[in-house]
Structure formats: structure tokens, C-alpha cells
Structure 1
Amino acid sequence: MIQHVVDSLNSYIWSSALVIFFLIIGIFHSVATRFLQFRHLKDMVILTFNGKDSEAGLSPFKALSMSLGSRVGTGTIAGVATAIAFGGPGAVFWIWMMGMLGAVTSFIEITLSQVYKSKIRGEYRGGAPFYIDKGLKMKKVAVVFAVVTIIVMAVLWPTLQANTIAAAVHQAFGISTVITGGLLVFILAIIIFGGVKRLGKVAETVVPTMAVGYVLLCLVIVGFNLEHLPGVLMLILKSAFGADSVFGGVVGSAITWGVQRGAFSHAAGIGSETFEAGAAEVSHPAKQGLVQAFSVYLATLVICSATAFTILITGMYNVSPDGGGFITSHAVAGKDPSAYPSLAVDSVISGFGAAFLAIALFFFGFTTLMSYYYKAETCLAFINQNREKSYKLILYPLKLTLLVMVFYGSVQSGEIVWALGDLGMGSMAWLNLMAILFMTKTALKVLRDYEEQKKEGRDPVFDPEKLGIKNAHFWEKEYQVIENDEEGSKVKEVL
């Protein structure tokens, strides 16, 4: 009964309307920002590696690593395989399109997260609830968003990630899911009880290492089949627009699956990736907005592409080499789409596929679990900004709940959990997309201010009063703008 009700609700929340809404928002923001995702690519890269930690905040790179740890998860491996299985090779093109559109959507929501962030208990906090509250002045909606996020991040999604990790490890090495679950809980407990800074430190080390390692292995697989790369590229492009006769009838599926999996892989617009960015130490909100836009590129154009090329170039899904080109046939019979990446690796390095997939999913899934906790804790901090006792009273039960759900998910999972997770995330997406749509004007003001200061040769700093932006309390209280007569530029000093 409950399953039926939840599935029914999901059919409305995750209907084609949400897919279209994602595309419309991305196109609208691309035009409004004059396609900043292309114009400011150089700044994205430079800003990613600039800046340092402060007592209250994280460096831009650490904030990006924490967010990328969430973006780069099972969605970039099994999710891409599923998109190809049900949408055809053309779905890969639409994943790329969602990456390019998602980059600017991410810029908008992350910039707003920085504008309306707060300093709570000595640490920077920001995210969708903060800008819904301060920017739209809709406190009740912000609280609802925060509560939904806590439920999704501390109860529902940890179960799914842990289950995926434990199942992959058991299949590859025969290790009991109970042992894997216990190990996950032990390591995760050490990290989350160590505070935000420890989360950032672990993410800064693990995320780049695992991402580079994964991409390098995929490049090796592609390298062994390099002569087929042009054929794969042509197949993706033809299938995306129905030019390939075999896939002409599934163009709609290619678009739908590509958009959905693209959105799931980078999560831009859902609001779930706004929290880590609020902890970044930057002098101007647009800086972290550009950094996080770059993380969308890394998740979709790099990680998702690595998975897709590995699957397609080895013939693990309806392609087989034929005289330098490719003939479309059918999917690997009797194989679950999530097995395509491991089969692709096995085709080059025999017997290594399952182990490779298990190791990749362990690290990808583990960093995702870390990010889930941080998002949930930030939402708890938002709800209890002025209630210290209440915050401390709930904080430890929150940590214990997440750890229990990780262990539970490792040994058991059910359809209802997946359905509830989709329901929660879908609800977040609708609320967040509407919020950033109505606050586009504010984000554009911040972007123009950043660009004007850059044009004048200055290192951009943020002054909300100058731009007429209200309720940006962090910037009003924490920073003081002073003039530097010698250089003719503004600098900000912490009061």
C-alpha cells in the first residue's frame, strides 16, 4: 500500500515536466548570464586552486572536493550504464548537454548560497534553506526544505549507497556484507565525529585521488580500443538525434534518460550541492559559484564520459566493431546495466572488472556518505541557529542515525527506500528550482559586480550594500570594506 502511494507520487514529481523544467532553467540561466559556463572557464580553473582555509571556513578546493565527493558517486558509474541501456548511446550526448547547462545552474545556486550564508557556532554555513529564508523571506518553506534534506541525507540515501558498496565488495571479494557494513560505520564514525574540518581534509585527499585513478583506468581501456573511438563518437551523435536507424525510435528515451542521469550525476538545481559551497572562504560569492560550476564539468564531461566511452568502445552495449566502424546490435544479454563497466574492464584486463568496480564504488560511495552527513548537519544548524541546547541535543542522534542506516543498508535494502529517496530528492528539486528562478536577478547582480571588478584589474570583493542586496547579514557583520588609496582597490578584513 505504502509502496503504491509513493510510486504514484513519484510518477507526478519525476514526470517529464521536471525534465523539461531542468532544461528550461539551464537554457534561461545560460542566456541570462551570456553563457558564463564558456566565458569564464579559465577563471573556474584558476579559482579552484586559489584561497586557503580560515578558522571558520574551508578553502575553495576543499569545498569543491566535498561537493565533488557527492557528485561523483554511483550515478557516474551505474547511472551512466543505466542511461545507455534504456536510452541508447544517444543518452550520453544529453548527459553532456545537462553538464553544460547544469554548470550555469550550479553557478546561480552556489552564488546565492554564498550571498546568504551565515556564521553559526564559529563555522560558515550556507545552502538552499538559507537563501530561501533570507532571499525569498519564506522561513517556513526553508524549514520544510531543511527537514526533507535531513531525512533524505541521514536516512534514505545512506542506505542506498551502503547497499551498493557492500554488494559490489561481496561480489568481487566474497566479503560478508556485515563486515563491509561494520567497516563503513567504523571509518565514517571517526570522520564525522571529527567535525567539518576533518570532513574537508579527507575529501581533499580522497576525492582527487579516486577521480584521477578512475579516469586513468578508463583511458587505458579506451587506449586498447582507440581505433574504434571515432565510430563511438559518431554513434553517440547519430543516436542522440535519431540519425542512426536503429535508435531513431528512441530519441525521446535518449533525451529523458540523458537529462535525468545528467541531473543525478551533478545534482545541479536540486539544492543538495549548495551546502558545502556555503562553507568556503572567498572574498566574493561569484568566485565559489564558478568553482562549483567547474565541479559539474568534472562530474559529467570527465567522469561520466570516462564511464560511457569504456562501455561503448568495448562493445558492452549494442556496439560491435565492423571494418573500422560500428554496427548496432543489442545489449549484453542477461546482464544488469550496472555490470557493464566491470565487463568492459574484464574485456581488457581479464578478471579485474569486478574488483575494479568494487574499489571504485567503495571510494565514490564513501565520500558520498561523508557529504550526506555534512548536508544533514548544516540543515540541522539552520533549523537551530539560535537554539544551542536543542542543536547539541539532536546532533549526536543525527550522527548515530546515519551510522545505523549505513549498516542497515549494507545488509538489507528494499524498493520502498529507493522510492522514498526519489520522492524526497524530487521534492527538493521542485522547491529549489523555483527558488533560484525567482532569485535570478540577485545572482546576476553579483555576477556583473564580479565581472566589473575583474575588468578594472581588481581582485573582486563583495559589498551587498553597494548592490542593494538585503539580508546578506554575513557580509554586513563579518566584513568591513575599506579603501586602499595606493592601489585604488577594495579589500575586506575580518572584524
Structure 2
Amino acid sequence: MGEGKFLLPFFLLIGVIELELGYLLFVDQVDRIATALNGFLWDYILIIVLIGCGLYFTIRSGFVQFTRMGEMFKLLTEKSTISSGDRRGISPFKAFTISTASRIGTGNLAGVATAISLGGPGAIFWMWVIALVGAASGFVESTLAQVYKIKDKDGFRGGPAYYMEKGLNARWMGIIFAIIISITFGLVFNSVQSNTISFALEGSFGWDRTVVGIVLVILTGIIIFGGVNRVAAVTSTVVPVMAVLYILLALFILITNLSVVPEMFGIIFSNAFGFTEVVSGGIGAAIMNGIKRGLFSNEAGMGSAPNAAATAAVTHPAKQGLLQALGVFVDTLIICTATALMIIMSGEYLNGSDGIQLTQDAIAVHVGGWASVFISIAIFLFAFSSIVGNYYYGQTNIEFIKENKLYLNIYRIIVMGMVYFGAVQSFDVVWNLADVSMATMALINLIAISLLSPLAFKVLKDYQRQRNQGIDPVFYKNSIPGLKNADCWDDGPEEK
């Protein structure tokens, strides 16, 4: 009996060790599978589909992302008051910031750094390409989300799952997409965000990543149990502030090093086409890593932003489509480019650093050691706001499958668990999982919006016709002959 008292703790310890080893082996196996799937999906399928669809949408829309640029900024300040008093929803600006919260985050700081460290400076050129052509995809998917949105207790909700069901009469496809986006954003992408936060805080302050993970779980729980209005309130406040502060720092660094900026662009262009190889930056690595990290950052065509776009109260679907196209430009052409130039100027990408550590080291070269602390705070704000925005994408798709409070609460708990998982997990594991889930989700969405794109072009034509007449465009169910299931839009005049 006395011996048993000593043996019991020993056996318990052995059991814990075996569980830990089993967990590590499981994670390693998952990582191996994810790496193999990434090679197949990205090398042979997704790059062609992404660029091909983006070019098709660009041409068919009359290069909407370029010809309507001025109007995009004007729409950003438009009020949400609309003609029908029973319509509710958040403002176009808040819908814009929810999607921007997900876009502007880890992809702009850690993602850009990873693209450069693996694909060389030329990867940034391919990030620009995917943003320029992808903005048209962003317009199409967000316009469709507005057409097929539905009313709920908070106002409106919608997204790819909804336009798959209502536009393609394929609820089965919508359910598959809803499951995948709920996993991708609420779970996998949130683990990437918490992973980046924990590494940044560990590097700057020496904080234990386990403790950081616990704190993030608590903060996430407080926000996500508060509903979409709290999500909108947090992101509409935090995103503009954090973006302005980061851009101001980047502008200061770029202006004080203005004489070498042209040289940095020269390095980007030369490496983009494999003329000069830096690190592993041949043309193949540059294209692959630029497009991967570009899609993660701006999400154009992935099917995420439409979930936020659908929540806006606007008089015409094309308005929110234009705003989401603007979000792609803001993310990649401004934020990502600023980060890239600072990293390339510093030369730190040649020293083996990766992820958020590379961004911290690069900015420290320019402005001193305090930059590491600043970036840690910035990445916390960027990434935590992304966690909030990502969760909302999952919530609206869980509700698409079945509106059940119990299911939603279970999902919230799993989200919190994945936030902790990411905070304590290795860099490679979470990013490999993100690439697989992102590729799968994007392929399904791109198929759907390709099939529905003729409708989006008709909606754009209706919008442009009214703008040309000098009136504020208003959309009706019968604005497009034969349109069905656009339940949130009123019947209008038969002849317009």
C-alpha cells in the first residue's frame, strides 16, 4: 500500500509524458500532410485559377478597380441611412473595417517578412500582381454578397454560403463552404494570429508564450460572446488607429531614407523575374511565396470579405463591392509595400530571420531598439483585431448551417482553444495549416463567383447607369430581369 503511494505519481507522470509525445507525433503528422497538400494545391491549381479569374473579372468589369478609384474613397464616408426604414445594418465604414481587421494583420507584418525570406524581394512584386487583378475578384464576391444577404436580429448577414444557396440553388455547396470558412478563419487563421502575437511578445519582453496564450483566450472570449455589434465597435475603433500609427512610422522611415527607395524598387523588380537571386528568390520561389502571402494578406477572391460586406446597409450592392476592392489596395499596395521596403532597406532578410522577428529586426535597424517594443504592441493590435474579425466570419457561417445557440457557443469555445493552440505552437505548423485551408476555401469560392459573375456585371452596369444620370444609385429586386431570391431588396418601378 505504501509502495503504491510512490508508484501512483510515477505512473501518472509516465502517462502525461506519453500523452505529450502522442500529441507531438500527431502535430508532426498533420504538418507533413499539410505540406504535401500545399505542394499540390498551390503548384498546380490555385495560382492559375487566382490569376485567371482575376484577369477575367477585371476585363469583364471594364477594369472597375481602376476606373472607379475616386468613387471608392467617396463611398467610405457614406451614411448607412437608406430609403426603407425597416432595413437595419451597420454602416459601410464599419463593414469595411470588419473586413479590413481580418486583412490588416499578421499578413502585413509577419506574412510580408516570410514572403521575402523564402521568395526574396521579388515576392513583393507578385503580391502587387495578385492585389491588382484580385481587386476585381473582391468586387465581384462582395457585390454578390450584398445582392443575396438576409436579415437577422443584428441587421444583415451573408457571404459565399448564402450566394451559393440563393444564386446557384446549391445549399450543399454553401454548407461545405460554411464548414471550411469556419475552420479556416475562426480556427486556423486565428491560431496564426495568436502565434504571431506570442512570438512577438516573447521576443520583445521575454513573456512566456503559454501565459500569452491564456491571456489571449480570455480577451477573445470577452469579445466574441458580445455579438456582432461589439465586433464592429472594436474593429471600427482599433483598425484605423493602428493603421495610422504603423503607416506614420513607415512614412518616417521611408522619408528619412528617400534616396535609396528607388533602389529598393529596383531590387524588387529584378528579383521578381529571377534576374538576381537573393536567398531563395528565384522566379519560382518569388511567384509562389508572393501569391501565397498576398492572398493571405488581402484575401481577394478567398470568400472571407463578403461576409463583412453583406452586413452593410447600402442603397446599392455595387457600393460595398467597390469598398471591398479598395480594401485590397489599402492592404497590399500601401501597408505590405511599406513593410517590404523597410525590410529590404535594412538588409536583415539576408541574416536568416523570419516572420515577425524579421520585421522587428528590420525596423530596429532604422529607428533603434525601441522599435521591437512598438512592433510587438502593433502586432498585438493588428492580430487581435484580426482574431475578432475572423471569428465573425465563422459565426455568420455557423448560423447559415443552423441557427442554434448551443452550436454557436460550442464553436466559440473551440475558437478560444485554437487561439491558445496557435500561441504555443511552432511557426511552420500554423502557417502550413493556414495555406491548406486557405487554398481549399478560395477554390470553392472562385468556382461560385465565376458562375455568378454575369449577375455582378449587370449590377455594376445598373450602378454606373444611375451614376451617369447624376443620381445616387438605388437597387431593386427588379433592377435585374429574372433575379430571384434577393429577399432584402424592395420591389421598385417596373421601368427605370
TM over 0.5: yes
Separation in 2, partners of 1:239, 1:346: 25
| Partner residue of 1:433 out of 446, 450, 453 | 446
CA contact (8 A) 2:296 2:438 kept: no
What are the Cα deviations for residues 448-490 of structure 1, in whole angstroms up to 9, with x where unaligned?
A: 00000100111111123231243333234xx35369xxxxx98
Alpha-carbon offset, residue 313 of structure 1:
2.0
What are the Cα deviations for residues 304-360 of structure 1, in whole angstroms up to 9, with x where unaligned?
A: 01101111122333xxxxxxxxxxxxx12x433543221222112221232122112
Equivalent residue, structure 1, for 2:319: 287
More helix by share: 2
Q: Does 1:66 align with 2:98?
A: yes
Q: Does 1:374 align with 2:387?
A: no
Q: Point out the more displaced range, 127-136 or 239-248.
A: 239-248
Q: Point out the more displaced range, 52-61 or 111-120.
A: 52-61
Equivalent residue, structure 1, for 2:70: 42
Equivalent residue, structure 2, for 1:32: 60
Q: 1:418 to 1:264 in 2, by over 3 A?
A: closer
Q: Point out the more displaced range, 215-224 or 45-54.
A: 45-54
More strand by share: 1
CA contact (8 A) 2:194 2:422 kept: yes
| TM-score between the two structures when normalised by the length of structure 2 | 0.88
CA contact (8 A) 1:116 1:471 kept: no
Alpha-carbon offset, residue 379 of structure 1:
0.3
Q: Match of 2:368, SS?
A: coil
Write the letter of the residue equivalent to 1:371. Answer: G
Equivalent residue, structure 1, for 2:126: 94
Q: Does 1:470 align with 2:488?
A: no
Q: 1:4 to 1:407 in 2, by over 3 A?
A: closer
Equivalent residue, structure 1, for 2:79: 51
Q: 1:172 to 1:51 in 2, by over 3 A?
A: same
Equivalent residue, structure 1, for 2:12: none
What are the Cα deviations for residues 17-66 of structure 1, in whole angstroms up to 9, with x where unaligned?
A: 21121111111111111111110001110001112379731111101111
Write the letter of the residue equivalent to 1:441. Answer: P
Q: Point out the more displaced range, 83-92 or 423-432.
A: 83-92
Q: How many residues matched? A: 464
Alpha-carbon offset, residue 266 of structure 1:
0.3
| Partner residue of 2:419 out of 406, 427, 434 | 406
Q: Does 1:481 align with 2:485?
A: no
Separation in 2, partners of 1:132, 1:392: 24
Equivalent residue, structure 2, for 1:443: 456
Alpha-carbon offset, residue 107 of structure 1:
0.2
Separation in 2, partners of 1:417, 1:240: 27
Separation in 2, partners of 1:181, 1:12: 32
What are the Cα deviations for residues 82-124 of structure 1, in whole angstroms up to 9, with x where unaligned?
A: 2222222222222112111111110000000101111123530
Equivalent residue, structure 1, for 2:47: 19
CA contact (8 A) 1:222 1:313 kept: no
Write the letter of the residue equivalent to 1:14. Answer: W
Q: 1:345 to 1:51 in 2, by over 3 A?
A: same
CA contact (8 A) 2:120 2:280 kept: no
Write the letter of the residue equivalent to 1:146. Answer: A
Q: 1:289 to 1:187 in 2, by over 3 A?
A: same
Q: 1:87 to 1:404 in 2, by over 3 A?
A: closer
Q: 1:121 to 1:94 in 2, by over 3 A?
A: same
Where do residues 78-89 of structure 1 align in structure 2 (5 Å cutoff)?
78-89=110-121
Q: 1:395 to 1:302 in 2, by over 3 A?
A: same
What are the Cα deviations for residues 256-294 of structure 1, in whole angstroms up to 9, with x where unaligned?
A: 222222111101111122111110010100000000100
Q: 1:421 to 1:314 in 2, by over 3 A?
A: closer
Alpha-carbon offset, residue 167 of structure 1:
1.9
Equivalent residue, structure 1, for 2:15: none
Q: CA RMSD in A?
A: 2.3
Separation in 2, partners of 1:469, 1:110: 20
Equivalent residue, structure 2, for 1:106: 138
Q: Point out the more displaced range, 432-441 or 355-364.
A: 355-364
Alpha-carbon offset, residue 2 of structure 1:
4.5
Separation in 1, partners of 2:81, 2:103: 22
Q: Match of 1:15, SS?
A: helix
CA contact (8 A) 2:91 2:313 kept: yes
Q: Match of 1:119, SS?
A: strand
Q: 1:374 to 1:88 in 2, by over 3 A?
A: same
Write the letter of the residue equivalent to 2:174. Answer: A
Q: Does 1:360 align with 2:392?
A: no
Q: 1:272 to 1:394 in 2, by over 3 A?
A: same
CA contact (8 A) 1:160 1:418 kept: yes
Alpha-carbon offset, residue 243 of structure 1:
4.6
| Partner residue of 2:342 out of 310, 335, 345 | 310
Separation in 1, partners of 2:66, 2:417: 43
Equivalent residue, structure 2, for 1:218: 250
Q: Point out the more displaced range, 288-297 or 43-52.
A: 43-52
Alpha-carbon offset, residue 3 of structure 1:
4.2
Where do residues 251-270 of structure 1 align in structure 2 (5 Å cutoff)?
251-270=283-302
Unaligned runs of 5+ in 1: 318-330, 484-488, 491-495
Separation in 1, partners of 2:277, 2:31: 38
Identity among equivalent positions (%) equals 40
Q: Point out the more displaced range, 76-85 or 208-217.
A: 76-85
Q: Does 1:424 align with 2:424?
A: no
| TM-score between the two structures when normalised by the length of structure 1 | 0.88
Separation in 1, partners of 2:81, 2:217: 28
